[in-house]
Amino acid sequence: MKKEITILAIILFQITGIVGCKQSGTQNDLITVDVTANYPKKELILQDFMDVEYIPLETNDEFVTQGNVLAIGNKYILVKNWINDGDIFVFDRKTGKGIRKINRKGQGAEEYNFINGIALDEDNKELFVNCSTSKKILVYDLSGNFKRSFAHTEGADYWNIFDYDNDNLICYDMSGYYKDGEPRDRQSYHAIISKQDGHITRDISIPFDVIKAPSVREGEGTAVTSVSSIIPYHDNWLLVETSSDTVYNYISKENKLVPFLVKTPSKDTEILLTMGMLTDHFYFMQTMKKVFDFTTGRGFPINDLMYDKQENALFNPSVLNGDYLKKKEVDMISNPLNGGIACFETLAGSQLVEAYKNDELKGKLKEIAAGLDEEDNPVIMLMKYKK
């Protein structure tokens, strides 16, 4: 089934088939995907291949959030609102209990004016707030006290940032999104940068010549959507560059890029490929067609795909949450995480209350929904690798 992304705030108006494959997931045997082919449907139950955990976020007068989850660690969950009010809510990872609310929004040197993302470093007790409007990353302790800040490297516009190791972040520079069709202008768009001052400690250069951005231009208007350019997978990272037909596995310990998957070029309209959650059995991915209707504000139609390692075949998947009695699909693309949690999804409290009233839930999710009110904060569903 094809879907379309509705572009709202991210429209910017500017004035001026599987082809022979086996896959080890490390260094051998490349998967090739025909992004124009139609693949058979396959239905899966999430709980059959992932461990699922539900965390209801505490609701009280101070902790009311729209539930835009920014980071999940072993101890904490960081959440903000979809509106730009500057609030960062810190919840307990195990219980969902609200711990504190941080707000450092402003125009000062120690403040952010927008939150694009947060990398959480629990070992060093720091959080890194990425603010693309000021092109800075601001560092705070877990109580919200300012520690330091550093600028994006010259010419860069960081979008995705993740905690990489004790001393570094891994980032993606989206400055090429507005240069579609132009020659590349940077050595690398993926980079590992220092947590202390932001200098690049390691460039990760994916080979390509011409920028193929997830954007469409028409007259003075440009519509832009984002894709997941960094996908954590156990100790390694899948790196997606829409300008390249190849997805690479970055093997951290060896500082080595290994081709992981390649798409066949589309002949007419450009079709981009991005990756979602990976397990030891399934690789979830998504195609995106570079078309956009500026009159309706809709475009970038997407199509979900899944590679089944055991069957050595590609499918159009439908992953269902087994804790719903009626079919409820799970998003396997949008929210990859590192560590033992492969992915997460936010379940709205009001929708869970309605499903409970209609007797559409079972198991632990039903127990949680029984205690919810329609105005309560969302429940976070964690999808974890089976042990």
Q: What domains does the chain contain, in order, with CATH numbers? A: 2-385 (2.130.10)
Distances (CA, A) of 325 to 1, 322, 352: 22, 7, 13
Residue 160: per-residue pLDDT: 85
Contact 77, 69 (CB under 8 A): yes
Distances (CA, A) of 87 to 82, 103, 162, 222: 10, 5, 20, 30
Task: Indicate the helix (H) or strand (E) that contains 356.
Answer: helix 349-357
101: tokens are 């609310």
Residue 42: per-residue pLDDT: 98
Cα dihedral across residues 314, 19, 276, 252: positive or negative: positive
Closest CA to 129 of 86, 184, 96, 172: 86
Question: Rg of the chain over CA atoms, in angstroms?
Answer: 21
Closest CA to 335 of 290, 288, 382: 382
Residue 267: per-residue pLDDT: 79
Residue 336: per-residue pLDDT: 87
Closest CA to 337 of 236, 195, 233, 260: 233
Contact 341, 50 (CB under 8 A): no
pTM attached to this predicted model: 0.89
Report d(CA 234, CA 228) in Å as an integer: 17
What does each of the 387 residues of the chain score in pLDDT, given as a tens digit? 445 444 433 444 333 333 334 433 334 478 999 999 999 999 999 999 999 999 999 999 999 999 899 999 999 999 999 999 999 999 999 999 999 999 999 999 999 999 999 999 999 999 999 999 999 999 999 999 999 999 999 999 998 899 999 999 999 999 999 899 999 999 999 999 999 999 999 999 999 999 999 999 999 899 998 889 999 988 899 999 999 999 999 998 898 999 999 999 877 789 999 999 999 899 999 999 999 999 999 999 999 999 999 999 999 999 999 999 999 999 999 888 876 789 999 999 999 999 999 999 999 999 999 999 999 999 999 999 987
